[in-house]
Amino acid sequence: MITNRLSDEAVGVAEVLRDQLRQAGGVDLLRGAVAEPERRADAERILGGIGAWELNPLSDGVELEAAAMISQVAGEVGLPYPVAERLGHAEGAAATALVSATDNRHIASHADLDLAWSAVDFRGHAYDVVARSGELLGTKLGPFASEFTVQRRAERLPRTAALVTTLQGWWLLGLLKKSLTDTARYTREREQFGRALRGFQSVAFGLADMAVALDGLEELAKYALWSIREDGDGETALTDALSLRVAALEAAQVVLRGAHQYHGAMGFTDEVDVSWLSRASQSFRRLPEGESATQELLAARMSQYGFAAIFAETRTPDDANGEDRRAERG
Amino acid sequence: MLDYGETTEVADLRARLGKLIDENIDPSYLGAFTDDPADLETAQAFCRVLGDNRLLAMAWPEEFGGRGASYWEQTALREEMWARHEPRGAQYMGINWVGPILMRHGTSDQMARHLPPIAAGEVIWCQGFSEPGAGSDLPALRTRATRVDGGWRINGQKVWTSYARMAQWCFLLARTGPQESRKDGITVFLLKMDQPGVQTRPINSMLGNHHLNELYFDDAWVPDADVLGEVDGGWSIVNEVIAFERVGIARYARCERLLGQARAQLGEGWADLPATLRSRWALAYLHTRRARLLAYKVVEAQVNGNLDPATAASYRIAVTSLDQEVAEVLMDVVGSWSLGTPDLTRVFERAVEDHWRYAQASTVASGTIEMQKQLLARSMS
């Protein structure tokens, strides 16, 4: 029976976390951690306090949904902590980063934190993290980005890759939802030419486009989660996770572009949350592979593994091998 | 907990519908409204087959010719039909919104007279809404209903009326209050088309036959028994009609089927397509899933009785934009065949050309995408 509602437990956990993050300052946690990176420990403590690190998302459906909702609520404040990477960690690791299969430079937010790191790529390959620089990039768009080196393992972990990718999608969903809420409020309050910005049709249309992009993203995020629960070997789930990522990158462009535009100059200032959320979104949007590469990979996987649909005829056996080679080449 | 798996009941229904279509509809069929009148006859015959199997108005109560099926079964029916070029022809309107609205607002006499023929596939309805001076601004409509002994005389003009020339009944909006009353002076009439005061005229277009017509009323007659709801109280009914109508067509289903066929049709030639096109195809396929999931969100809200206009508008914007995105991708995939061909064996290429033409209307019909965006933006807190 089709239902697009998450379990009450998952929704309940989200409410508790949202309340605690609000009390802890919301986006101020991000502002504080950029100034003093060691304050990321506050985020870890809050998440630990609600039992986030005891969840086992790959073996329990309710815990999987709870992990997704925790990621979303963390995203709403751009929480400075590797939430998706820790909640989705591979067995034997404490946090699992996403890496590119084609780029030799590996970099991810918070990889400096002293955790037992491993890595996976979008093709499902597993990696050992063999060395970490421990230094932060410290730029405006990558305040917590840190380099590391990896060594590919023989095993593949497509289900873990699907989980980390999907939880990152939920994190970005939360961030974009908050950005739209703030923008909708600002366009209602800010007046020009004697009326609210939202009264101008071009602004109203822009807000509608942002809302539609987010509504669709939320449903795809739920679908990707369900796919992880249902798909034991993880190949289908990984394709669905990549499709979520493609939709998330598209939505991020629509929503954050609109958020910047309709906030005017105010939207660039450190005073306004949207300015911080836009910056915090960057490491997810650009790493380990950007929009074009992710789209190309998705197209190849759709041919190789199919794409669940009611009237599906995507995969033809004759082509599967050829597409496989393209997928491997990336 | 989340679940996107279909029940056996729904899967069985799909199989049953697929079999009925295979048995009754030629693979080259592109809908009821082509240049070949035989296609219209095919649709009318198929409706009776569905009606005989109680599959036409499945979700309706048994007393009105349905079999009390679930919203999800009704959704599967919509998907299967639209994916196969709507072999019900014009009947989907009667099922999707005329019937449900009559059940909500009709008298027992109106329900008894009008619902069973719809469920049996024996009657076609048209929608008398738009006028030359009232398109998106529907409350500006001027067609006038004047009270006389025992009923009403209708005078005025409607335009863009799909299926007007084949319809036996018209779900008509007319002004009963003063012109300046706008939304507060509109009444819904159930008007019999076969009478001297009603004239129709086709409007030739790129969409195909029967999609666009003009309707003229010159002292047309409606008895009191065919006034739906309260006099001057029609606007609330209009809003419900629009809500039903806007989620009634599973456009994503045909998009999905054609995108899937594109991949299978090209076989080994797929790898020779430009990488950009393969990427656009993948994106369109993903957007198709997105629209389907938004449709399911609407259906779930209908099941729970809490569908709000913003949720419906969001889906509508996504699915109508999708229709046009998919049309462009498919036209690129078929290349020189995109201009169409009389060769009936080129089923896929003909379907793509047909889809592109019809998709142009998707962001206009049943309310423009601009109106949907306005509605959605206004609903934001």
Three-class SS string for B344-356? CCCHHHHHHHHHH
Residue A250 has pLDDT above 50, yes or no: yes
Shared domain check, A178 and A149: no
Shared domain check, A263 and A307: yes
**What is the C-alpha to C-alpha distance for residues A259 and A280, in angstroms, rounded to an integer?**
14
B324 touches chain A (CB under 8 A): no
CB A149 within 8 A of CB A117: no
Residue A214 maps to which CATH number? 1.20.140.10
Shared domain check, A206 and A127: no
Smallest Cα distance from B152 to chain A, Å: 40
Taking CB atoms and an 8 Å limit, are B270 and A201 in contact across chains?
Answer: no
pTM for the model: 0.94
Give pLDDT tens digits for A217-236.
999 999 999 999 998 889 99
What pLDDT does residue A319 have?
A: 41
Taking CB atoms and an 8 Å limit, are A219 and B294 in contact across chains?
Answer: yes
Shared domain check, A144 and A121: yes
Mean pLDDT of A252-261: 98
Interface residue of B7, B21, B280, B286 to substitute, partner A, most A CBs within 10 Å = B286
Mean pLDDT of A105-109: 97
Fill in the DSSP letter of residue B271.
G
* Chain B residue at shortest CA distance from A225: B2
Interface residue of B136, B268, B363, B380 to substitute, partner A, most A CBs within 10 Å = B380
Taking CB atoms and an 8 Å limit, are A4 and B290 in contact across chains?
Answer: no
Residue A3 lies in a domain: no
Look at residues A87, A116, A146 and tell me which one is the last residue of a structural domain.
A87
- Complex prediction ipTM: 0.93
CA distances from A328 to A304, A321, A322 (A): 11, 11, 10
**Longest pairwise C-alpha distance within chain A:** 65
Residue A144 lies in a domain: yes
**What is the C-alpha to C-alpha distance for residues A245 and A241, in angstroms, rounded to an integer?**
6
More confident residue, A178 or B211: A178
Taking CB atoms and an 8 Å limit, are B6 and A2 in contact across chains?
Answer: yes
**What is the C-alpha to C-alpha distance for residues B184 and B175, in angstroms, rounded to an integer?**
9
Shared domain check, A169 and A318: yes
Chain A residues with CB-CB distance to B378 below 8 A: 204
B196 touches chain A (CB under 8 A): no
Look at residues A87, A103, A131 and tell me which one is the last residue of a structural domain.
A87
Taking CB atoms and an 8 Å limit, are A223 and B289 in contact across chains?
Answer: yes
**What is the C-alpha to C-alpha distance for residues B380 and A274, in angstroms, rounded to an integer?**
18
**What is the C-alpha to C-alpha distance for residues B277 and A173, in angstroms, rounded to an integer?**
28
What pLDDT does residue B112 have?
A: 95
Mean pLDDT of B57-61: 88
Which residues, in sequence order, are bridge partners of residue A125?
A156
* In chain B, ranges of CATH 1.10.540.10 domains: 8-123
Instruction: Return phi, psi of residue B159, to 5°.
Output: -145, 160
* Chain A residue at shortest CA distance from B269: A319
Shared domain check, A306 and A181: yes
CATH number of B247-379: 1.20.140.10
Give pLDDT tens digits for A193-217.
999 999 999 999 999 999 999 999 9
Least Cα distance to B282 among B331, B341, B242, B329 occurs for B329
Residue A105 lies in a domain: yes
Residues 135-194 of A with CB under 8 A from B: 181, 184-185, 188
Residue A2 lies in a domain: no
Shared domain check, A284 and A224: yes
Taking CB atoms and an 8 Å limit, are A298 and B290 in contact across chains?
Answer: no
* In chain B, ranges of CATH 1.20.140.10 domains: 247-379
Q: Which of B256, B296, B300 is the closest to A309 by Cβ?
A: B256
How many structural domains comprise chain A? Answer: 3
Chain B residues with CB-CB distance to A309 below 8 A: 256, 260, 285, 288-289
Q: What is the mean pLDDT of chain A?
A: 93
- A96: helix, coil or strand? strand
Helix (H) / strand (E) element for A146: namely strand A145-156
Give pLDDT tens digits for B131-179.
999 998 999 999 999 999 999 999 999 999 999 999 999 999 999 999 9
A312 touches chain B (CB under 8 A): yes
Smallest Cα distance from A33 to chain B, Å: 31
Smallest Cα distance from B370 to chain A, Å: 8
* Chain B residue at shortest CA distance from A227: B4
Regarding the domain delimited by B126-238, which CATH topology (the fold level of the hierarchy) does it fall under? Butyryl-CoA Dehydrogenase, subunit A; domain 2 (2.40.110)
**What is the C-alpha to C-alpha distance for residues B58 and B261, in angstroms, rounded to an integer?**
29
* Chain A residue at shortest CA distance from B372: A208
CB A153 within 8 A of CB A121: no
What pLDDT does residue A312 have?
A: 67
Q: Which of A311-315, B83-87, B305-309 has the highest mean pLDDT?
A: B83-87
Q: Which of A219, A311, A318 is the closest to B290 by Cβ?
A: A219
B260 touches chain A (CB under 8 A): yes
Percent of residues, chain A, with pLDDT higher than 70: 94
- Matching residue, tokens 């109680």: B54
More confident residue, B89 or A150: A150
B304 touches chain A (CB under 8 A): no
Fill in the DSSP letter of residue A111.
T
Chain B residues with CB-CB distance to A311 below 8 A: 83, 253, 256-257, 260
B373 touches chain A (CB under 8 A): yes
Taking CB atoms and an 8 Å limit, are A220 and B290 in contact across chains?
Answer: yes
- A113: helix, coil or strand? coil
Percent of residues, chain A, with pLDDT higher than 90: 89
B271 touches chain A (CB under 8 A): yes
B378 touches chain A (CB under 8 A): yes
Shared domain check, A219 and A140: no
Taking CB atoms and an 8 Å limit, are B83 and A204 in contact across chains?
Answer: no
**What is the C-alpha to C-alpha distance for residues B381 and B379, in angstroms, rounded to an integer?**
6
**What is the C-alpha to C-alpha distance for residues B243 and B315, in angstroms, rounded to an integer?**
11
B286 touches chain A (CB under 8 A): yes
What pLDDT does residue A50 have?
A: 97
Look at residues A40, A59, A87 and tell me which one is the last residue of a structural domain.
A87
What pLDDT does residue B303 have?
A: 85
Give pLDDT tens digits for B105-140.
999 999 999 999 999 989 999 999 999 999 989 999
Smallest Cα distance from A107 to chain B, Å: 26
Q: Which of A242-246, B100-104, B296-300 has the highest mean pLDDT?
A: A242-246
* In chain B, ranges of CATH 2.40.110.10 domains: 126-238
What is the token pair recorded at B356?
Answer: 């592109």
* Chain A residue at shortest CA distance from B7: A1
Shared domain check, A152 and A164: no
Taking CB atoms and an 8 Å limit, are B318 and A216 in contact across chains?
Answer: yes
Percent of residues, chain B, with pLDDT higher than 90: 79
B263 touches chain A (CB under 8 A): yes
- Its CATH class, for the domain covering B8-123, is mainly alpha
Smallest Cα distance from B373 to chain A, Å: 5
Least Cα distance to B125 among B191, B57, B65 occurs for B191
A18 is in which domain, residue-wise?
8-87
Shared domain check, A274 and A214: yes
What pLDDT does residue A222 have?
A: 98
What pLDDT does residue A313 have?
A: 57
Residues 57-76 of A with CB under 8 A from B: 61-62, 65
Least Cα distance to A49 among A89, A78, A27, A81 occurs for A81
Mean pLDDT of B350-375: 93
